[in-house]
Chain A
């Protein structure tokens, strides 16, 4: 045998985000030889380094500021907080480092071969790794999993190289607190980062090209969020597009145009562009390996996350919407199980989504809009948090728990929650949907008192006509409890 020939790696995972590392760890636990390729020092990907984790750290810090301010109502007054942005930044970075170092150790313990670099296919069993030390090495493999994730979408005609124009990654670096910040895009990234910067003192102008914030989310949930956002942000302009961003010496001159309105010009210190994310599938040499992508660069996969090349799988953002970390991890585990010879498939009924604004919005399963579009006969029950004792004690009655129930079976087909901790609460909704629970199941499940989770139970009770803490004259007595 030729001396240079080494055995092909059993499984190569390209990208060590929440999808890639979950896949790598499981593969190692199943006894496979795993090679994990990623340019970062440790596993973590966008989520840990430049996404979910740093943004949630900063959101938590900003929540403290707002809560301290609101404590005045309880008779507790603080002086205006002094913000040491350097310390805040290094605290946030510390959180990231602790988590990613931990992942690095977990990988080492599993004897995963971690290569810092970027991979490019040369065929369907061979790829090149361009390592961060500027070397190139060739690697042959039996199976590969593509998990390279996504990056911020850019606005055409905008100089994204300018230090005044930020994407979410740059915004999370927290270089400074701009006095006037323009946010382009009313999706979850724009709203979350807007919440952070507004709490730290920036005056926010947010523009959204469609007629509402968080497109795709049920309006009744968004409505509850809108009030506090109106207080927090200086301006929210819907149906408004950015016509031009002109880079000045010390900021940006933005030309904004609303529907049926004259274009106006305004100066901002910085602009955050948060208009969505696109899959990172360029420069991977996919064509060479026989892997098809669609026009948006999303890799075509089957229900087992298999691409058009039989031995290569794709998971997470590169495999399409929803681009969420927990979907990626789940797909990563599916792909690895399939590679290990198990009859696995990616077939969740509900993938929860959480927007970490204040209040948070979380939903799972069908939205009302989608259920209508599908022609499903359903009924909606809404339990307002004004009737929740727990909401009262935390001074936050700005919430709503909503259940979508299929009419014939009274089965839970969708759950939507807006309110503080909605993100923690949605898990019960996901379980209910996956288990095909019906209203009776939710009603007869004892929920702890006093907690916000009782609103789920009470919403189910409301459907039957009587909820302990909410009197609905139209319903009481009309149905058997």
Chain B
């Protein structure tokens, strides 16, 4: 049986990406979950795995090809008939979901909805969906099958005359993002101009606008002082750079330092590790910290929020999803553990292991790194006394963890050796003040010292 392997849904709002490398050749035998291609979206680099065991009989893509969700990449001669046929179904559902999200987005960003526009949105949902999707996918792919370019695209080409497309291109605009006001969504010069205007006036919280801004600052000619070499930013580096610049620029950071006596926790970890052996995966201080922070966030709501300056509102999240920074060969990745307040430390430890392992193996999807409400960055394994972490926008705070050390502590009239863990809490001063931050971090420290006090 021949099985078409296509790009699965790899994350909300991810519709397309580029083939970075092809990891198989014709005739290769793959087993389920073997990587087939490396696929780079504007959010991450992921490996597309084989849905079943089989032999590669045809490779339909080349490195550098731009593909959309659902595009076939290779054909496998499958080895058994128990193939996961739900892949196709999942795609369809995902697409449905995407369309809905798109619509919500459209509604949300519609600051001043004029009545006719509103009506249009409501009465012709299908039309809108179709339109926006086609605009998103019009350009892109290069020749693949020996047929004509218009047939290369999955969806309708963009509804704009060649002169309008040229205008947009010269202005550096992706015409697919422009909403057409003409019959059938045809894009006019006015639409393009309006789009440019809107984008210029958009807040600088807008990521693309930001990267453009920083790229405008001209660099000196370094080669005047010696030999230099340029290389392109990797995806992860670029995303980190954009995201950190955004955080740094928009969030007034304050970092609060403290240290926690984790002697009891260490003892407990030691015992548990002995008891459970290898079966439960590696239990680390990070898992304990995730749990403790979750409890702290339940008590200190103001650290589980986001700030909407535009609407002058604070958005409180009734869920606690904690991101754990992972150092990988590709750079910093932050997988998110969902609903940590409802999970046991053991479960959390298992998830951290699984997610960080997959992050290192490029098997993590952008969705698994989205939606965090708080982040923990543990550098304890590497060393250092303290550091000032940068908040992962749009979160409200981040906890930096350094290396624990045994220190003398004066307790009950005598000096005792205690294992002390240095902690740094960077918080958004727009949302929290020093006193609150000191209390929050203090609570975390006490909870680590006397875990039973958490209840």
- In the complex the two chains form, is B161's CB within 8 Å of A321's CB? no
User: Interface code A304-326, partner B: CB below 8 Å = 1, 0 otherwise?
Assistant: 00000000000000011110000
Nearest CB in chain B to that of A308: its residue = B64
User: Interface code A344-370, partner B: CB below 8 Å = 1, 0 otherwise?
Assistant: 110111110100000000000111001
Surface stretch bound by A, among B109-117, B180-188, B317-325: B180-188
- Asked if A438 CB lies within 8 Å of chain B CBs, one says yes
Residues from chain A with a CB closer than 8 A to the CB of B62 are 294, 300
CB distance from A312 to the nearest CB of B (A): 15
CB distance from B361 to the nearest CB of A (A): 28
- In the complex the two chains form, is B142's CB within 8 Å of A365's CB? no
Nearest CB in chain B to that of A378: its residue = B156
CB distance from A69 to the nearest CB of B (A): 35
- In the complex the two chains form, is A343's CB within 8 Å of B156's CB? no
How many angstroms from the CA of A410 to the CA of B124 in the assembled complex?
A: 15
- In the complex the two chains form, is B151's CB within 8 Å of A370's CB? yes
- In the complex the two chains form, is A321's CB within 8 Å of B184's CB? no
- In the complex the two chains form, is A351's CB within 8 Å of B169's CB? no
- Asked if B130 CB lies within 8 Å of chain A CBs, one says yes
Nearest CB in chain A to that of B183: its residue = A438
Residues from chain A with a CB closer than 8 A to the CB of B158 are 349
CB distance from B430 to the nearest CB of A (A): 40
Residues from chain B with a CB closer than 8 A to the CB of A303 are 139, 142
How many angstroms from the CA of A373 to the CA of B166 in the assembled complex?
A: 29
- Asked if B220 CB lies within 8 Å of chain A CBs, one says no
How many angstroms from the CA of A344 to the CA of B165 in the assembled complex?
A: 10
How many angstroms from the CA of A344 to the CA of B158 in the assembled complex?
A: 17
How many angstroms from the CA of A125 to the CA of B198 in the assembled complex?
A: 43
- In the complex the two chains form, is B64's CB within 8 Å of A321's CB? no
Residues from chain A with a CB closer than 8 A to the CB of B146 are 320-322
- In the complex the two chains form, is B184's CB within 8 Å of A436's CB? yes
Nearest CB in chain A to that of B138: its residue = A349
Instruction: Enumerate the 4 nearest inter-chain pairs by beta-carbon distance, A residue then B residue, closest first.
Output: A409-B184, A436-B159, A320-B143, A321-B146
CB distance from A425 to the nearest CB of B (A): 18
- In the complex the two chains form, is A436's CB within 8 Å of B64's CB? no
How many angstroms from the CA of A322 to the CA of B146 in the assembled complex?
A: 7
- Asked if B154 CB lies within 8 Å of chain A CBs, one says yes
Nearest CB in chain B to that of A436: its residue = B159
- Assess A301 versus B148: contact at CB under 8 Å? Given A343-B170, A436-B159, A438-B183: no
- Asked if A93 CB lies within 8 Å of chain B CBs, one says no
CB distance from B271 to the nearest CB of A (A): 58
How many angstroms from the CA of A434 to the CA of B166 in the assembled complex?
A: 12
- In the complex the two chains form, is B142's CB within 8 Å of A302's CB? yes
Residues from chain A with a CB closer than 8 A to the CB of B160 are 436
For chain A, the bracket of interface size reads 35 or more
121-145 of chain B: CB within 8 A of chain A: 124, 126-127, 130-131, 139, 142-143, 145
How many angstroms from the CA of A34 to the CA of B238 in the assembled complex?
A: 39
- In the complex the two chains form, is A367's CB within 8 Å of B151's CB? yes
Residues from chain B with a CB closer than 8 A to the CB of A347 are 139, 165, 169
- Asked if B93 CB lies within 8 Å of chain A CBs, one says no
A376 contact from B124, B127, B155, B169, Cβ within 8 A:
B155
How many angstroms from the CA of A300 to the CA of B162 in the assembled complex?
A: 24
- Assess A438 versus B184: contact at CB under 8 Å? Given A301-B142, A370-B151: yes
Given contacts A303-B142, A367-B151, A434-B161, 20 further A-B contacts (CB under 8 A): A216-B147, A294-B62, A303-B139, A320-B142, A321-B147, A322-B149, A342-B170, A344-B169, A347-B139, A347-B165, A349-B150, A351-B150, A353-B148, A366-B151, A374-B151, A406-B156, A406-B184, A408-B124, A411-B159, A440-B183
Q: Most A CB atoms within 10 A — which of B150, B170, B172?
A: B150
- Asked if A77 CB lies within 8 Å of chain B CBs, one says no
Nearest CB in chain B to that of A407: its residue = B130
- Asked if A189 CB lies within 8 Å of chain B CBs, one says no
CB distance from B128 to the nearest CB of A (A): 10
Residues from chain A with a CB closer than 8 A to the CB of B151 are 366-367, 370, 374
How many angstroms from the CA of A367 to the CA of B150 in the assembled complex?
A: 10
Nearest CB in chain A to that of B149: its residue = A351
- Asked if A435 CB lies within 8 Å of chain B CBs, one says yes
- The DSSP consensus for interface residues of chain A is loop
- Asked if B157 CB lies within 8 Å of chain A CBs, one says yes
Question: How many residues of chain B have a CB within 8 Å of chain A?
Answer: 37
Residues from chain B with a CB closer than 8 A to the CB of A411 are 156, 159, 184, 186
- In the complex the two chains form, is A348's CB within 8 Å of B154's CB? no
Nearest CB in chain B to that of A324: its residue = B148
How many angstroms from the CA of A349 to the CA of B149 in the assembled complex?
A: 7
CB distance from B154 to the nearest CB of A (A): 6
Residues from chain A with a CB closer than 8 A to the CB of B142 are 301-303, 320
Residues from chain B with a CB closer than 8 A to the CB of A322 are 146-149
- Assess A408 versus B184: contact at CB under 8 Å? Given A347-B165, A374-B155, A413-B156: yes
Nearest CB in chain A to that of B146: its residue = A321
What are 14 A-B contacts defined by CB distance under 8 Å?
A298-B143, A320-B146, A344-B169, A349-B157, A350-B148, A376-B155, A376-B156, A406-B156, A408-B124, A408-B131, A408-B184, A409-B184, A411-B186, A440-B183
CB distance from A364 to the nearest CB of B (A): 8
How many angstroms from the CA of A221 to the CA of B40 in the assembled complex?
A: 41
CB distance from B172 to the nearest CB of A (A): 7
B184 contact from A366, A367, A410, Cβ within 8 A:
A410
- In the complex the two chains form, is A409's CB within 8 Å of B161's CB? no
Nearest CB in chain A to that of B180: its residue = A436
- In the complex the two chains form, is B183's CB within 8 Å of A409's CB? yes
- In the complex the two chains form, is B155's CB within 8 Å of A351's CB? no
- Assess A348 versus B162: contact at CB under 8 Å? Given A300-B64, A302-B142, A366-B150: yes
CB distance from B59 to the nearest CB of A (A): 9
How many angstroms from the CA of A53 to the CA of B158 in the assembled complex?
A: 34
Residues from chain A with a CB closer than 8 A to the CB of B185 are 409
B169 contact from A345, A348, A349, A435, Cβ within 8 A:
A345
User: Interface code B171-214, partner A: CB below 8 Å = 1, 0 otherwise?
Assistant: 01000000000111110000000000000000000000000000
A436 contact from B124, B147, B172, B186, Cβ within 8 A:
B186
User: Interface code A321-335, partner B: CB below 8 Å = 1, 0 otherwise?
Assistant: 110000000000000
Residues from chain B with a CB closer than 8 A to the CB of A216 are 147
- In the complex the two chains form, is B172's CB within 8 Å of A343's CB? yes
Residues from chain B with a CB closer than 8 A to the CB of A300 are 62, 64
B143 contact from A321, A350, A409, A438, Cβ within 8 A:
A321
CB distance from B381 to the nearest CB of A (A): 40
How many angstroms from the CA of A320 to the CA of B148 in the assembled complex?
A: 10
Nearest CB in chain B to that of A441: its residue = B183
279-331 of chain B: CB within 8 A of chain A: none
How many angstroms from the CA of A111 to the CA of B124 in the assembled complex?
A: 58
Nearest CB in chain B to that of A298: its residue = B143
Residues from chain B with a CB closer than 8 A to the CB of A374 are 151, 153-155
Q: Most B CB atoms within 10 A — which of A348, A353, A440?
A: A348
Q: Most B CB atoms within 10 A — which of A294, A319, A349?
A: A349
- In the complex the two chains form, is A365's CB within 8 Å of B159's CB? no
CB distance from B153 to the nearest CB of A (A): 8
Residues from chain B with a CB closer than 8 A to the CB of A349 are 150, 157-158
CB distance from B321 to the nearest CB of A (A): 36
How many angstroms from the CA of A410 to the CA of B159 in the assembled complex?
A: 12
CB distance from A179 to the nearest CB of B (A): 34
Residues from chain A with a CB closer than 8 A to the CB of B161 are 434-436
How many angstroms from the CA of A370 to the CA of B146 in the assembled complex?
A: 13
Residues from chain A with a CB closer than 8 A to the CB of B184 are 406, 408-411, 436, 438
CB distance from B101 to the nearest CB of A (A): 20
